[in-house]
Amino acid sequence: MREVAEGVLVHESDFIQSNSVVVQGDDGVLLIDPGITTAEMSCLARDLRGLGEPVVAGFSTHPDWDHVLWHRDFGKVPRYGTARCSDSLHSLLAHADWKDRVAEGLPPEYAGDIPMELLGLLTGLPEGATRIPWNGPKARIIEHQAHAPGHAAVLIDGPGVLVAGDMLSDILMPFLDLEAKDPLGDYIAALQIFENMAHEVRTVVPGHGSVGGADQLKARIEQDLAYVCDIRDGKVTHDPRVGPSATLDWLPDVHQWQLERLATREHNGDAG
């Protein structure tokens, strides 16, 4: 773990630079999006014990499998998500074959190392909830309709840390919620929310990628907006995250897949 702001620490996974966020409170820590492998989470739990910091609450920014994991060593504590996030997970877990459904999306090289037993066991907060209930710094829920159902960033007041979930990454371009009515419009609206609150943010922690300062927040909002607007306007994007120099060589394929899905939606009259 490394401290990125006063009272806020980050543990980075080998899997797509996934960031688990630890927020120190009065009685223990709030754990946001812990992951990814059993060994990594066990290490995180061990580090917290070494600091004398019990986990007192958890929060998942959205229902993607890599953001709703848990380890028994964290303890049986309240684990929260937005109402829509929780509803999405409850629908998944209601299927007898839910583990098989999740397994289809797991990277093969990590599949055997990802704990499934406690996946997705969240308590949905009331619709429109704006704070995570815990005894520590005010953790403001910034819910929006981009990337996934019930996706939420969390702003830690005081240190001004924005935990962005699967947005504002320096290595991943925007991943759209292609099941939404208006994926592009939703994403633009979410970026506008971040722009409007940028003056409150001193550190941004994406779900995947590098932690950045206030200057990086502005740059990432602009880069993500340019990518989404290029798609909306039918332009060829020059976003380096999906070009020949992309950090991850599979991202150009994801980009092309998004274009094809959006084109199919428009052909079928489903575009927002």
Give the chain's domains with CATH numbers.
2-127+136-267 (3.60.15.10)
Of the candidates 93, 112, 109, the residue with the CA atom closest to the CA atom of residue 101: 93
> Quick one: pLDDT at residue 108?
87
Q: What is the pLDDT of residue 242?
A: 95
The whole-number pLDDT of residue 271 equals 54
User: Which residues in the chain land under pLDDT 70?
Assistant: 270-272
CB atoms within 10 A of CB 89: 24
Tell me the whole-structure pTM to 2 decimals: 0.95
> Which of 31, 35, 32, 67 is closest to 48 using CA atoms?
31
Tell me how far apart the alpha carbons of residues 138 and 189 are, in angstroms, rounded to a whole number. 24
